Structure 1
Amino acid sequence: MSKNLVLQTDFGLSDGAVSAMYGVALSVDSSLRIFNLTHDIPQYNIWDASYRLYQTINYWPEETVFISVVDPGVGTERLSVVVKTFTNQYIVTPDNGTLTHIIHRHGIKEARIIDEKVNRLPNSGESYTFHGRDVYAYTGARLASGVITYEEVGPALNVEELVELQMTEATLDETGIKGNIDILDVRFGNLWTNINRELFVEAGIHYGDSLEVTIENNRRHIYKNIMKFGRSFADSRLGEPLLFVNSLNNIGVAINQGSFAKAYHIETGANWKISIRKTSEIIYN
């Protein structure tokens, strides 16, 4: 194994929860290399946890073990699993939808249910509210360090049985491109959509084109304006909006040196829709 362990939670760093997970992992093997993906997932936001895994996982070496703990159902009958991706990496997580983007974008080869009779921190059996420490950190560390093999995690689970959140795909038709605002580039306030750059190519959209962008929430118009499709933020003036290709090869919406999300009170999720079309196709009555 690579001995790389990458942690993601919604715990924040204001108390000792993440530190306890580190301690458990290093107690298994002090030579483990532990890294943080993020601990700033909004509380209970499984969708964001799923997206951040998708954003990150392909850039890590094979056999890296990821632990993702955003677990509003902790202590319930939801399963705890370890999955193996087609790129030969592992994710330790509650089976609550956290794997949605990985299933759709990268693919999961195998899944196993964590056998807590074997893979659980000793003397923690009466605790039901901190599986991040007692089950996931312990199991992930044992797997990353080679103390257990993947087969020793627990019984196999059919990949098709993994819990998934609802996902929609972006579409292209004669009226333009329609998609969703999947997530925010939190620090800078950019919108990241589920519209892949290939749809722009298929639609005949080129850098420098002016496009009409409409954003709706539950069919209520939030924003409508014309902006340019640029290669970089420098292709617009300070304070101007633009469309760009983000680091995942999807279309983003930004304000040059400003927060688009804050300026227009934009959020994310299935109800946040975005439509894009060429200005040459607009017919004014």
Structure 2
Amino acid sequence: MSRNLVIQTDFGISDGAVGAMYGVAISVDPKLRIFDLTHDIPQFNIWEASYRLYQTVSYWPEETVFVSVVDPGVGTSRLSIVVKTADNQYIVTPDNGTLTHIKHHIGIVEARIIDENINRLPKSGESYTFHGRDVYAYTGARLAAKVITYEEVGPIVEVNNIVELPKPEVTVNQGVISGNIDILDIRFGNIWTNVTRETFEEAGIQYGDSLEVSIANNTQQVYKNIMTFRRSFADSQLGEPLLYVNSLDNLGVALNQGSFAKAYHINTGVNWKIMIRKAAKVGYN
């Protein structure tokens, strides 16, 4: 029985690129079950590709094969690899940082370089600009259809040598929790941080607490306000800012039925920082 094949790209669906990848996969095995993770990764945004894999991979069955193609270095000397995760799944991708979150949060037990002498779409040898179709979709489909074993992908490469992007860590200093704005919940405009629920618990923060939240891009502060840590959106008023625990058990910031990111022009990446502390209680005589 074939495995599932899940595809992620920054290609969009306005032309035939994704359709060509589907065609290659189906040509390998018409019985393959093919799914889209997303094709709306911002162009060349390797960080977001890495995060979307982390957001999704754990919820798929063992032996699912993922193909992730966000590849600004296509045609260069960057490696094409297939990794086996600690959860017994496979990811086919350029070795350009796309595996940063998987390596950090889930774990990679083995990595292999794709041997293009064997695992490359026939009659595509003169093309160096569409490895998503010619190398990744083809290899992923062959692996998912069990035409090849994992060992037949190609030679082993050391897991420690897999390229990683800089990944900021959360710090706690004198009651201030400092983290990173990793990604947007795009549809609703919420911002997702790398601050975990456990960090909040260790800091003694409970639902209902008022917190001072500051957001900065590099050293420039772009937002500062007091908001409440809520269990759900229904616990807040319409248009009220709030902190909440998102679906990855990390802290998010939102406007109830509004876009926090759009309202305050917030973006994501290693330069976008968030600082959280308990708000000072104001007393009156």
**Normalising by structure 2, what TM-score?**
0.98
> How many Å apart are 1:175 and its aligned residue?
3.3
Q: Where do residues 117-196 of structure 1 align in structure 2 (5 Å cutoff)?
A: 117-196=117-196
- The answer to whether the 8 Å contact 2:2/2:31 transfers is no
2:46 counterpart of 1:46: yes
Determine the C-alpha separation between the residues in 2 that align with 1:237 and 1:153: 54
Kindly provide the CA deviation profile for residues 60-106 of structure 1, in whole angstroms up to 9, marking residues without a partner as x: 00000000000000000000000000100000000000000000000
2:159 counterpart letter in structure 1: V
Question: Within 1, Cα distance between the matches of 2:280 and 2:83?
Answer: 47
- 2:222 corresponds in structure 1 to 222
Give the aligned CA root-mean-square deviation in angstroms. Answer: 1.0
CA shift, 1:173, in A, is 2.1
Give the fraction of aligned pairs with identical amino acids, expressed as a percent: 76
**1:83: which partner in 2?**
83
CA distance in structure 2 between the aligned counterparts of 1:107 and 1:173, rounded to whole angstroms = 29
Secondary structure at 2:50 match in 1 = helix
Pairwise CA distance, 1:2: 5.0
Q: Which residue of 2 aligns with 1:115?
A: 115
Q: Which amino acid aligns with 1:151?
A: E
- Which consecutive residues of structure 2, in runs of 5 or more, have no partner in the other structure? none
1:227-266 residue pairs with structure 2 within 5 A?
227-266=227-266
Deviations 1:207-240 (A, max 9, x none): 0100000000111110000000001111111001
Distance 2:88 2:50 in 1: 18
State the shift of 1:58 in Å: 0.2
SS at match of 1:280: coil
Q: 2 CA distance for matches of 1:146 and 1:281?
A: 62
* Residues 2 and 146, structure 2, Cα contact 8 Å, conserved in 1: no
Counterpart contact for 1:2–1:64, Cα < 8 Å: no
What residue identity is the alignment partner of 1:219? T
1:168 Cα deviation after fit:
1.2
Q: Distance in 2 between matches of 1:231 and 1:52?
A: 24
Q: Tell me, in whole angstroms, the C-alpha distance in 2 between the residues paired with 1:184 and 1:131.
A: 28
Q: 2:207–2:230: 8 Å Cα contact kept in structure 1?
A: yes
How far apart in 1 are the matches of 2:88 and 2:267? 34
CA distance in 1, matches of 2:45, 2:66: 18
Following the alignment from structure 1 to structure 2, what is the Cα–Cα distance between the partners of residues 2 and 244?
39
Give the Cα separation in 1 of the matches to 2:11 and 2:192. Answer: 24
Counterparts of 2:154 and 2:281, CA distance in 1: 56
Q: Distance in 1 between matches of 2:175 and 2:56?
A: 33
Mapped to 2, the partners of 1:190 and 1:146 lie a distance apart of 40
2:59 equivalent in structure 1? 59
Structure 1 runs not aligned, ≥5 long: none
Q: Structure 2 counterpart of 1:77, which letter? A: S
TM-score of the superposed pair, with normalisation by structure 1: 0.98
Counterpart code for 2:208 = G
Matched, 1:274 2:274: yes
| Residues 247-269 of structure 1 deviation map (CA, whole Å, 9 limit, x = unaligned) | 00000000000000000000001
Give the count of matched residue pairs.
282
Tell which deviates more after alignment, 272-281 or 146-155: 272-281
How far 1:280 sits from its partner (Å)? 3.2
| Partner residue, 1:70 | 70
Secondary structure of the residue aligned to 2:277 is strand
Q: Is the 8 A contact 1:2 1:62 kept in 2?
A: no
- Equivalence for 1:13: 13
Does structure 2 retain, via aligned residues, the 8 Å contact 1:178–1:276? yes
Quote the Cα distance in structure 2 between the aligned partners of 1:237 and 1:29: 52
Structure 1: distance between partners of 2:281 and 2:129: 55
Provide the C-alpha distance between the structure 2 equivalents of 1:176 and 1:71, rounded to a whole number of angstroms: 37
Tell me if structure 2 keeps the 8 A contact 1:119–1:138.
yes
Amino acid in the other structure paired with 2:211: L
CA separation in 1, counterparts of 2:2 and 2:273? 40
